Chain A
């Protein structure tokens, strides 16, 4: 079966598969006589817990031929469209005995795209948690950390795996750590205090992608609930990455208006950039990053999340421009001489930071979601936009989500990436993407 055909649309294919399976027409009709009872035996606590979801996702992308990332990722003659159909399985579970609990989160996926079959299997998390008392806990193993208050970005997430601002709520692979947690509660202005300290080793085969090998790193977070405000102080120290400090906060000003913010400071931040001659150089400077955001809910259930992000570790408009120019030169060299050495060098640089979802410095994120409009229960339309304030390029993503069928989630999304030459979103691989995702939870 060829997936290169432009007539093939994986979004419809995903829908067709579900219809053939007879899944979507299943109606959960009310059975009032059963609904008004609760069988306690069904919900008795068990030592084992298993759950997860299966997903089918169809994607159709229009390639922006000639853009930097189409030249880097798709070879000399990028196709005009890319289609992809992916099936994924995410399994989570736990086994508890006494004060110990073993937790796991596994993710596996396989998909066919225009170029062929791809698959992967990852252990996102597997860790042993010990809770001798509600105020004390320790864990050992592979675990994911989500520090910070920002929705799209977390400059203080020093041991977080980088998230995709377009999918910030997805599970991420963790790092192998040992951590210790202590919680205390009080009455008065200071309600809660919690200290979390995590040891993160890096050596061959262990957390290699975190930073320099043969180091033991320490990250600690002190959380306070003070005057109804969540406050975190965060520090990272170790030789795999340079030392960094951060703080964040979150507070409800009214019942429907929340503010949050993060600030991070890295005294010696190392970045690999292109100099004026287009040669890669390693620079070390101090860098400050910060994020300020709001979340607001109107009377008619419109939730707005707006965040401004200054990324001191990001690339300036000029630095990004140099990168895009060098890619163009590399592509021209490949076409004229067959020599792709420069392009391969740019691919390495891309992996070191230029290919991050948002590699620039100044961003504005806005997401508006309207819950259950027109009295349609479990239906949520949303609009998300990410704006690069330096080069004025942006992405806009309208989406529709329906969760009305118990344990099913349907999501339809269309992302439009807009920007001129040498702008972040103008040099992305695709100019748009249509995506249909269907999840079944169990």
Chain B
């Protein structure tokens, strides 16, 4: 009997160890995506660029997203940017400036706000849409996911994501260029209950070795699930995004 119990104990131990080793990175990443934001939503955010001497500049954005690849962001503030809108359809991105009166194509690596955040950070699609999990492991209270861009049009070639095991929310993400160079580090903080079952970080802070002494902060004030017509995510609709609010 003792032998049977010992064998069963060994089996259970081995089973647990195997489970721990075989972390399903893809499943974790999908859960991170759903925890971070619903598939379709509207959101109000503030972006703050802080310079080394303490000076700062703020932008307020109204953002709507539908499904896995449609997203539009409208600048509400400051007055000099009011009415500017950016549209993302998968890897296509456009910027509409009211005075110019027509959308122009932009790229994910550019930044419409200056500072450390680029367009890909501001118009971020689900991680699992743009990246595949190359390696997944555990490190204390965190899962460590090493992600690789699915194609060359994605802003960062690779990500290293530290995911909190308890909440399945990211704590830090390191973004790398194809050369392996660290481009920036994203730090998520202040988990907030936004209502409607959305509990996610409300503050995202980033700095970059390329911009020494500078940092940018993104604060999410409101996010709620909402459905929009597909036609909202078109060039013709960009001058009218404010009508969605």
- What is the interface of chain A, defined by CB distance below 8 A to chain B? 27-32, 35-38, 40, 43, 45, 49, 51, 53, 92, 96, 101, 129, 131, 133-135, 137, 144-148, 151, 168-172, 181, 183-185, 191-192, 194, 196, 223, 225, 228, 230, 250-252, 254-256, 258, 260, 295, 297, 301, 303, 371-372, 375, 377-378, 403-404, 406-409, 439, 441-442
Q: How far does the alpha carbon of A441 sit from the alpha carbon of B77 in the complex, in Å?
A: 11
B126-145, CB under 8 A of A: which get 1 and which 0? 00000000000000000000
Q: How far does the alpha carbon of A407 sit from the alpha carbon of B92 in the complex, in Å?
A: 29
Contact status B245-A45, CB under 8 Å? yes
Contact status B236-A35, CB under 8 Å? no
Contact status A185-B57, CB under 8 Å? no
Please report which residues of chain B, range 32-64, place their CB below 8 angstroms from some CB of chain A when the two chains form the complex.
Answer: 44-46, 48-51, 54-58, 60, 62
Binds A, one of B7-15, B22-30, B105-113, B159-167: B105-113
Contact status B229-A133, CB under 8 Å? yes
B214-239, CB under 8 A of A: which get 1 and which 0? 10010101100000111111111100
Contact status B235-A194, CB under 8 Å? yes
CB distance from A120 to the nearest CB of B (A): 18
Contact status A255-B57, CB under 8 Å? no
Q: Which of B60, B211, B237 contacts A38 (CB 8 A)?
A: B60
Q: How far does the alpha carbon of A146 sit from the alpha carbon of B239 in the complex, in Å?
A: 13
Q: How far does the alpha carbon of A79 sit from the alpha carbon of B35 in the complex, in Å?
A: 70
Contact status B243-A131, CB under 8 Å? yes
Contact status B214-A377, CB under 8 Å? yes
Contact status A185-B203, CB under 8 Å? no
Q: Which of A38, A295, A442 contacts B221 (CB 8 A)?
A: A38
Point out the residues of chain A lying under 8 angstroms from B221, CB to CB. 37-38, 40
Contact status B242-A252, CB under 8 Å? no
Given contacts A29-B55, A254-B153, A255-B107, contact A38 B219 (CB under 8 A): yes
Q: How far does the alpha carbon of A51 sit from the alpha carbon of B242 in the complex, in Å?
A: 14
Q: How far does the alpha carbon of A277 sit from the alpha carbon of B90 in the complex, in Å?
A: 60
Contact status A441-B231, CB under 8 Å? no
Size bin of chain B's contact surface: 35 or more
Point out the residues of chain B lying under 8 angstroms from A144, CB to CB. 101
Contact status A406-B212, CB under 8 Å? no
Point out the residues of chain B lying under 8 angstroms from A251, CB to CB. 105
Given contacts A135-B231, A406-B58, contact A377 B242 (CB under 8 A): no
Contact status A185-B80, CB under 8 Å? no
Contact status A252-B236, CB under 8 Å? no
Q: How far does the alpha carbon of A111 sit from the alpha carbon of B211 in the complex, in Å?
A: 42
Q: Smallest CB-CB separation from B82: which chain A residue?
A: A51
Contact status B57-A96, CB under 8 Å? no
Given contacts A30-B50, A441-B79, contact A255 B91 (CB under 8 A): yes
CB distance from A441 to the nearest CB of B (A): 4
Given contacts A36-B217, A192-B234, A375-B211, contact A255 B229 (CB under 8 A): no
Q: Smallest CB-CB separation from B50: which chain A residue?
A: A30
Q: How far does the alpha carbon of A187 sit from the alpha carbon of B212 in the complex, in Å?
A: 43
The answer to whether the Cβ of B158 comes within 8 Å of any Cβ in the partner chain is: no
Contact status B236-A194, CB under 8 Å? yes
CB distance from B90 to the nearest CB of A (A): 8
Point out the residues of chain A lying under 8 angstroms from B58, CB to CB. 35, 406
Contact status B55-A185, CB under 8 Å? no
Given contacts A183-B231, A375-B214, contact A43 B77 (CB under 8 A): yes
Point out the residues of chain A lying under 8 angstroms from B5, CB to CB. none
Contact status B102-A51, CB under 8 Å? no
Contact status A372-B114, CB under 8 Å? yes
28 intermolecular pairs with C-beta atoms under 8 Å apart: A27-B55, A30-B50, A30-B51, A32-B50, A35-B46, A36-B203, A40-B222, A92-B98, A96-B243, A101-B243, A134-B228, A134-B231, A145-B101, A146-B101, A171-B98, A194-B236, A228-B90, A230-B105, A252-B153, A254-B153, A255-B91, A255-B108, A372-B114, A375-B211, A375-B213, A377-B57, A407-B79, A441-B79
Contact status A184-B48, CB under 8 Å? no
Contact status B219-A36, CB under 8 Å? yes
The answer to whether the Cβ of B76 comes within 8 Å of any Cβ in the partner chain is: yes
CB distance from A96 to the nearest CB of B (A): 7
CB distance from A382 to the nearest CB of B (A): 15
CB distance from A38 to the nearest CB of B (A): 4
Contact status A297-B217, CB under 8 Å? no
CB distance from A373 to the nearest CB of B (A): 12
CB distance from B142 to the nearest CB of A (A): 25
